[in-house]
Amino acid sequence: MNPVPATPSARGSVSDRRFAITGIIASLLIAGFGFLPIANVIPGGRSAGWYAPALSDWINGSLIAIGVGLVYAIATRRYPRLWPEGSLRRLNAWYEASDWGFPLAMASAAFVVYVVVAIAVFDGRPLLIDEIVQLLQARIFGEGHLARLASPYPEFFSTLHVIDGGGRFYSQFPLGGPAMYVPGWLLGAPWLTNPLCGAMSVAVCARWVRMIEHRATVALGATVLFALAPFTVFMSASHMNHVPALLWTVIAMLALAMILASPHARPGCAFASGFALGCAGTIRPVDALAFALPTGCWLLLRAVRTRRLSELAAAAAGMALPLAILLWVNAQTTGSPLLFGYELLWGASHGLGFHTAPWGLSHTPARGLELVNLYFLRLQGYLFETPVPSLVPVVGSLALTRRLSSWDRYLLTSGALLVVLYFAYWHDGFYLGPRFLFPLLPALALFSARLPALVRERWGSALAYRTLWGSVVVSVVLALGVSIPIRVRQYSNGLLTMRWDADAAARRAGVVNAVVLVRESWGSQLVARLWARGITRSDSERFYRRIDSCQLDAGITQVEQQDMRADEAFAVLAPMLRDSALVQASPFSPDSTEGFRRGVNYTPRCLARIAEDQAGFTVMAPLLLARQPNVLYIRDLHERDSLILGRYPERDVFLLRPRGPAEGAPPAFERLARDSLYRVWRIGSDVQPAFSPSY
């Protein structure tokens, strides 16, 4: 399995045709999922309501790019100096003469871009709950522990994706992702982790591409595309664990390329490849599996053909090392080596397969097909942000390839496995783009970069070739001038509450040695109280979505007063589901996820909670990362706050909530008097509701 294509023999021509057909089939599948609105014709599920305007943009953008490219190609015939043939030759010569120079230069440039975007667009802060919880676990690791001791009153501190049962408090995610962020957390700059991992991925990918692609122009272009694709840039500026997982994946592929390029056994490289895939498995097991299976098969075939069992054994040993650590950490936290935190938290329904998902929806093959279609449709815009759909060069490259190399088949197999695995996964992985497809970026960049060379091989360097390059230049200019700035504004203006710097605000407000009551929405309070009663995450979601909030509040209060937990609490709350068909989204609270059923008698307590929602609320999760010493943030649960305040009688008390209901309004600290709080809790709420629900 030589990674560099060899000249086909007469016998090999049949194989070449077979592999060429494989490329055409792959191109048709990608085109089908990437251009057809399959999700829109499947009834009752998710759909791409934005498909019609997106299709119009694709057509208009492609016409503009191709039209200008054609004009440029015609102009180069009359004015040959417009065609930079000499510059391209010099660029190729420089690239071929450099060894690590180009990879390091490209990685350095990428690192600068990623850092600038991390600060300018994302404020250097985790914005998604997944990012926050993994940094929280990194903080726990940095303190020298696998888990913290859980509070006896978890409702004050719990958040999504955190396990706080069995007396311990830790993240649901595998250890690898949080472990990667520990150095950054200890240095006070966890936001540097992904830019550094992204830049290292660029350097490694550059070396890998150079080993498997004999055309210098293609290898250079693939590296640039991989490094500077907007999807890569934005993800590498975030705190998402897809970036360190991809770093380990490309390290594994580089080590594999070094094995295949050597006429001698390379057990050291095999160990490195297995170790890197094992590390990826401790971060994102599904992603690692998609690349580990083809890698293992390739090494197994090599071992059978060459009797080099040492490489296969070394790869297995390398992979076993990080996975053994993962299993040990699982045993110390969840109680079983094979039980992951998310399965403990959500149950077996969290895993792959077609079943009822943790949040109550039914994941079927039809829904899986919808999700895969949505991923590829979204990739058309988020990958390169060009007016021409991003998958056009991939489809064209695969269709024009006359012979798929061993590495092409490896990448297509790994990509297909990845898509099939996420086809069987219930969650819609959409953040900064179709993030579940992020591991495909090296392959997408390589296939895209091949299109100009394939066009030149097929039709020469005349009109078609020059039109293509002209279209590429126009697409890049429009992306930089139009679509990327729009995306930057979109990301910069999103999730504003999560960007708030609590530590700096606390210092300005003189908040020291204090307990801060964080005013979340009524709905968030209800969910946290359900969790604290031992109701599973799945059942809590079902109760919250299908029971009127005032009824649910009364039920939870009953089980709290009688100290009921788990099955006892479930038995009290479950009968309330009988009216679930009548429950609708709350028309009164800004938090529309709260339930409302006509005919329910809203008590003064419930009216007070709605009035508080209307006055403004914030979120608790980012405050779990606050570093200000001796400042304890807890979820405001009104009279139940006395359980925590009694433990800190010497501390000042503050309420944290926005000054007004405007979206994105920054929270403010409001000093409270303990005596006033206790008096209000004794006599009931002093909030006078400004309305009564209309039945």
CA atoms within 13 A on the CB side of 350: 16
Contacts 24+ apart (CB under 8 A), 665-672: 665/616, 666/500, 666/505, 667/497, 667/500, 667/505, 667/618, 668/505, 668/509, 669/505, 669/506, 669/509, 669/511, 669/516, 672/517
Task: DSSP letter for 563, please.
Answer: T
Number of neighbouring beta carbons within 10 Å of residue 325: 16
In a domain, 518, yes or no: yes
Q: What is the spatial distance between Cα 324 and Cα 572, in angstroms, rounded to a whole number?
A: 43
| pLDDT band at residue 11 under the 50/70/90 scheme | very low
| 676 within domain boundaries | yes
Q: Once rounded to an integer, what is the mean pLDDT over residues 458-470?
A: 93
Task: Give backbone dihedrals phi and psi of 279, rounded to 5 degrees, phi first.
Answer: -65, -40
The predicted model gives 120-131 an average pLDDT of: 97
Q: pTM of this prediction?
A: 0.93
Condensed to tens digits (0 to 9), the pLDDT of residues 191-224 reads 999 999 999 999 999 999 999 999 999 999 999 9
Give domain status of residue 678, yes or no.
Answer: yes
Which are the contacts of 126, defined by CB distance < 8 A and separation ≥ 6? 132, 134, 135, 190, 238, 239, 498, 622, 625
Q: Which of 491, 499, 663 is nearest to 591 (CA)?
A: 663
For the stretch 136-160, pLDDT in tens is: 999 999 999 999 999 999 999 999 9
Residue 44 within a domain: no
In a domain, 531, yes or no: yes
pLDDT at 545 > cutoff 60: yes
Tokens of 44: 């009752």
How many residues are listed for the chain in this entry?
A: 695
Segment (H or E) for 658: strand 652-658
Q: Residue 625 is part of which domain span? A: 502-541+598-683
Report whether 467 contacts 73 (CB < 8 A): yes
CA 610 vs CA 355, 587, 594: distances in Å: 36, 10, 10
pLDDT of residue 263: 85
- Examine residue 277 and state whether it is found in any structural domain, yes or no: no
Residue 511 lies in a domain: yes
**Least confident span in 85-99, 243-257, 554-568, 642-656:** 85-99
The answer on pLDDT for 688 being more than 80 is no
Q: Is residue 660 part of a domain?
A: yes
Domain count for the chain: 1
